[in-house]
A and B are shown apart, each in its own frame.
Chain A
Amino acid sequence: MLKDITIGQYFPGNSVVHRLDPRFKIIITGVLIAMLFSADSFIGLGVGVIFLLISFLLSQIPFKLMLKSLKPIVPIILFTSVLNIFFLEGVTIFKLGFLKITVEGLRTSAFMIIRIIALIMGSSLLTYTTSPITLTDAIERLLSPLKKIKLPVHELAMMMTIALRFIPTLIEETDKIMSAQKARGADMESGSLLQRAKALTPILIPLFVSAFRRAEELALAMECRCYQGGDGRTRLRQLHSSGADYFALGLSIVFFDLVLLLNCLMG
């Protein structure tokens, strides 16, 4: 069950998308998100989706894996679309008691669904094709101008690296603890909401205990190796940008312009 959470998971590969400079990938993802949010018609949204699909096909990520990353947001999608379908005023096409479905409702919820799915797919694509370490490296580099205003960029990036590094570990740990408690007859699947919340205690307490233990161990280990962040550190991996990166960025901006143009034309 927990294994289904794939957001933030890296899927190794050697496609064009994998090889792009992570700094550019982050910016391009930002442009994509801006595209999806600024589009105010189905056609505009379609342009964003086309850009997403092109990147997706180039990345050679299996479609099944993409679907898996969408699984955790199904409840959100259902919730928003139900709200939109039933509670938007407009031309009624179906009525049952106080529930009514309107054309506007259907339109808006379809629009929202496509937008949410595209957003999740876009950001999953970034994390699927970029290893977490490279990703934080790139974020650190992108934010490095902020050092001028005394923002501890390196430390923030380090915190992010550690957080990302420990997500799989904690998931694994949770899985293990859940199995251990299930082996002792813990019942997490049935009962009232309150009972189920209570059933989480045997999992959360050991999880917190072990998270604290890990944090302590890690801090100690870093200190033992004389870790010192920030100034004067050189990096193992240098980031290089090439023609392909500028091309990809250019392409995303062209698509973005197209969306904006469509907005003006349609509006």
Chain B
Amino acid sequence: MSVIKTEDLTYTYSIGTPFEKTAVDNVSLEIEEGALVGIIGHTGSGKSTLIQHFNGLVKPTSGKIYIDGEDIWGKDVKIRDVRFKVGLVFQYPEYQIFEETVYKDIAFGPKNMGLPEEEIDRRIKETAELVGLHKDNLYKSPFELSGGQKRRVAIAGVMAMEPKVLILDEPTAGLDPKGRDKILGQIKEYHQQKKSTVLLVSHSMEDVAKFADKILVMNKAKVFCYEDTPDVFKRAEELTQIGLAVPQVTRVFNRLRQSGIDIRTDVYTTEFARKTILEYLAKRGESNA
């Protein structure tokens, strides 16, 4: 069964003013339980608005959202329970930190859920380790930490709620490449440990390519496509047309193909590129011999 399902979801900002803007336009989609989904699209394509529907922070102008088959704006649904089920990490989450210590800040979500002390303690220690926060840092003031560390604290704060669906809005924005890979790795680790569904919004095709099993491409408030990662990159040309840069390796392979070399083009990680080239060379070696 799909864990998130939307039907003709539409959202318009500032209805009835000159600033009216439809940010999500007639989106119908189903996200399978346990999926690792990358969401990509141009600035202003409606990604952030769309994901804020999934935990009921934004009420759709029209259309429906089902979480676990349940209409979240239905009569008997408590929206707070939906938020415990679907955890959302905002863009630049470090700006939401407020407690005196890192420990307390991570505890905020689990506490709101009404969990017992020991369970909260266990979860804090577990997630802190998962996101690579040292034990000594737990009792420091979060404002003493570096930007990257603060980001980890904020992500841990949502992970500690152990939501069934974890959504992250550009968790790697403004980090160096190493920090980026590390955080993405930790999110993947969380996905595997908890068997939860993870949605990740990103601007970087490279990141999404490395990370996600499926990709949702947004374009001008609409879903452009939602497919398995390799299938999406087979459509490199269309993606370029709507102004999205495909990973550099994919571009290289497309060029190779254009210049008459018979090689596959659904290559989107350097790892796989290496394998493909070696295979190709081996094959050519054989046919030459």
Chain A residues in the interface with B (C-beta under 8 A): 3, 11-12, 62, 64-65, 173, 176-177, 179-187, 201-203, 205-206, 209-210
Contact = CB atoms under 8 A, between A and B. Distances in A.
Contact of B96 (A12, A181, A185, A187): A181
23 contacts: A12-B18, A62-B16, A65-B16, A65-B17, A177-B95, A179-B52, A179-B57, A179-B90, A180-B95, A182-B57, A182-B83, A183-B55, A183-B83, A183-B89, A183-B158, A184-B83, A184-B96, A184-B112, A184-B157, A185-B80, A185-B113, A186-B112, A209-B143
B38 to A, nearest CB: 20
A123 B52 CA distance: 35
B109 A206 contact: no
B95 A184 contact: no
Contacts of A203: 98
Contact of A177 (B16, B55, B96): B96
Which secondary structure dominates chain A's binding surface?
helix
Contacts of B16: 62, 64-65
A184 B109 contact: yes
B131 to A, nearest CB: 16
A201 to B, nearest CB: 6
B88 interface: yes
Among A3, A184, A202, the one with the most B-chain Cβ atoms within 10 Å of its Cβ is: A184
A183 B90 contact: yes
Contact of B98 (A3, A64, A176, A202): A202
Nearest to B167: A183
Contacts of B84: 185
Given A185-B84, A185-B112, A185-B113, A11 B18 contact: yes
A114 B264 CA distance: 75
B87 interface: yes
A201 B96 CA distance: 11
Say which size band chain B's interface belongs to.
20 to 34
List 9 tightest A-B contacts by C-beta distance, closest first. Answer: A185-B112, A205-B98, A180-B96, A184-B109, A183-B88, A180-B90, A202-B98, A179-B57, A206-B98
Contacts of B88: 183
A147 B14 CA distance: 42
B93 interface: yes
B201 interface: no
B108 A202 contact: yes
A166 B108 CA distance: 29
Nearest to A181: B96
Given A176-B95, A205-B98, 18 more contacts: A3-B14, A173-B95, A180-B90, A180-B95, A180-B96, A181-B96, A182-B57, A183-B83, A183-B89, A183-B158, A184-B108, A184-B112, A184-B158, A185-B84, A185-B113, A187-B112, A202-B96, A209-B143
Nearest to A210: B95
A3 B52 CA distance: 17
Nearest to A186: B112
A263 B17 CA distance: 40
A50 to B, nearest CB: 27
